[in-house]
Structure 1
Amino acid sequence: MELKDIIDLKAFPIGNTDFRAACKKEFNETGVFVMPGFVQKGAIDTIRDEGIANKDKVFKSTKQHNVYLTPKDERFADDHARNRLVTSSKGCITDDLMPQGSPLRQLYDAPVFRSFLCDVLGEDAMHQYADPLSSINLHFAEKGEELGWHFDNSSFAITLMVQAPEKGGKFEYVNAVRDADLGEMGFEKVNEILDGKAPVEIVEADAGTLVFFRGRNSIHRVAPNEGDLTRILAVLAYNAEPGVELSEAARMTFYGRLS
């Protein structure tokens, strides 16, 4: 499959300097950039079918965690924003199970796509993970499964909706809740969000939608899937430096294995 059969290059001319600059401007201003229909239907159908064919290899996990994705801090009460627990439950297929000829792998590896990412994200280079599991993941959320409120440790995330749920399963976020660099953790705002008292932004994403998101200081979640159709999301993970591996502890937590 050629790149023009994967990406709608007429709507998204990712090699064009002016287009890249416009994308970068919007992303810098809002912390989120949404491209509906970025991946064409034929390619997204193939990616979906590849995922479903490997569904028996999904690693499923349900975990409780705080929004900071850190161990409990004994200096605070259990009901303090620092230690309040939320639930994340999902299934995952790892990079090593993706077919070599998959349109998803072609997209991930395409030099013009990586160059586009560098320009929009303000990075010098985009490198795959050195470990065999972490570069491309497919996440599956069945009915009732969710990704609890949290902040990311990384500076950006790139996701592709492969199969949208029939009901629920929306990506929700609140911008600028904390300032991790200054150590301002936004406890009061976090409590409001966990109590359902704060307005949230919602990203609507049909199959084929590519999303850039800065989640280090903006809290976000995937609401519970309320329908019978599985929500399938591809996560494209890169590093600014070569040779980076996800830690063994993280791999065991996310994937249940090291290789």
Structure 2
Amino acid sequence: MNIADIVNQNIYPLSDPEFQQHCAETLDREGVLALPDFLRPDALTSLQTESRAGRDRAYFCTQSHSVYLTPRDPALPTDHAANRQVESSKGCICDDIIAATSPLRTLYDSEAFRSFVMATTGEDALHPYADPLSSINIHYAERGQELGWHFDNSSFAITLLIEKPDAGSRFEYVKDLRDADAGEMNYDGVTALLDGATQPDVLTMDPGTLVLFRGRNSIHRVSPNESDKTRMLAVLAYNSQPGVELSENARMTFYGRLA
């Protein structure tokens, strides 16, 4: 299997400089780039079969956290935006379970795909995680499971929707709600969102859609799954520097194991 078997390059010519520039401009302007029908039908079917088969090996957990993914600050009130807790719950299978023949593996390792992501995001280099779990993940959300409001620590994220539930699991976001580099956390804006005074944008997508999202300053969540059909989503994670690994504490929290 090669990249031509996976990506619908008639629509998305990954190596075309004009297409790359268009994607980069869209991501910079909107904070999100969604490419529907990115996967060829056979590749999507293969990935759905693979993901359903791996469901029994997923590690499921539920966590409470702040939207800033930081520890509670005892100097601030419990109901302060920095301390208010939201809930995230999901299942996950890790990189070491993803088969060498998986379309995800071929896509992740493809130089053409990495070059496209670099051109779109402005990164000079992309490297896999040094640990054996974190580069490629498949996430599962059953009925009632959700991803709570949060800002990402990384500058961008890459996801690929594999299966969509019949209701719920909406990807909601508010672009540039904070400026992390300037130290502006915008507690009032976050409070308004958590209180329901601010209505987020909703990104609609179908299986086979690739999404690049700048979540460091754009708060986002996935609402609870309201159906009995599992939401399945692949996350492709790179680093700008080689040798980076997720901490042991983070691996135990998210994956329930170190290797």
- The TM-score with structure 1 as length reference comes to 0.99
Q: 1:88 and 1:191 mapped to 2: Cα distance?
A: 18
Q: Aligned Cα RMSD in Å?
A: 0.7
1:46 maps to what in 2? Answer: 46
Whole-Å separation in 2 of the counterparts to 1:17 and 1:183: 35
**Which residue number corresponds to residue 96 of structure 1?**
96
5+ long unaligned stretches in structure 2: none
1:74-85 map, 5 Å:
74-85=74-85
5 Å matches for 1:1-259? Answer: 1-259=1-259
How much does 1:128 deviate? 0.6
One-letter code aligned to 2:247:
S
Query: Following the alignment from structure 1 to structure 2, what is the Cα–Cα distance between the partners of residues 184 and 21?
Result: 30
Q: CA deviation at 1:2?
A: 2.9
Which amino acid in 2 is paired with 1:178? R
Supply the distance in 2 between the matched residues of 1:154 and 1:46 (Cα, whole angstroms).
29
- CA–CA distance in structure 2, aligned partners of residues 42 and 238 of structure 1: 26
Take 1:121 and 1:30, find their aligned partners in 2: how far apart are those partners? 13
Q: Residues of 2 paired with 1:108 and 1:243: CA distance? A: 17
Deviation at 1:158, TM superposition (A): 0.3
Alpha-carbon distance between aligned partners in 1 of 2:75 and 2:201, rounded to the nearest angstrom? 32
Q: How many residues align?
A: 259
Q: Percent identity between the aligned chains?
A: 54
Unmatched segments (≥5 aa) in structure 1:
none
What is the alpha-carbon distance in structure 2 between the residues aligned to residue 66 and residue 3 of structure 1?
A: 39
Pairwise CA distance, 1:248: 0.7
How far 1:184 moved relative to its partner? Answer: 1.0
Q: Tell me, in whole angstroms, the C-alpha distance in 2 between the residues paired with 1:58 and 1:244.
A: 24
Deviates more, 1:38-47 or 1:205-214: 38-47
Instruction: For 1:229 and 1:127, locate their aligned partners in 2 and report how far apart those are by CA, in whole Å.
Output: 34
Q: What is the one-letter code of the residue matched to 1:210?
A: L
1:61-90 deviations in whole A, cap 9, x for unaligned? 001111000100011111111100000000
- CA distance, structure 2, for counterparts of residue 149 and residue 143 of structure 1: 18
Question: What displacement does 1:228 show?
Answer: 0.9
Offset at 1:112? Answer: 0.4
SS in 2 for 1:54: helix
**Separation of aligned partners in 1, 2:184 and 2:23:** 29
2 CA distance for matches of 1:92 and 1:227? 19
SS in 2 for 1:119: helix
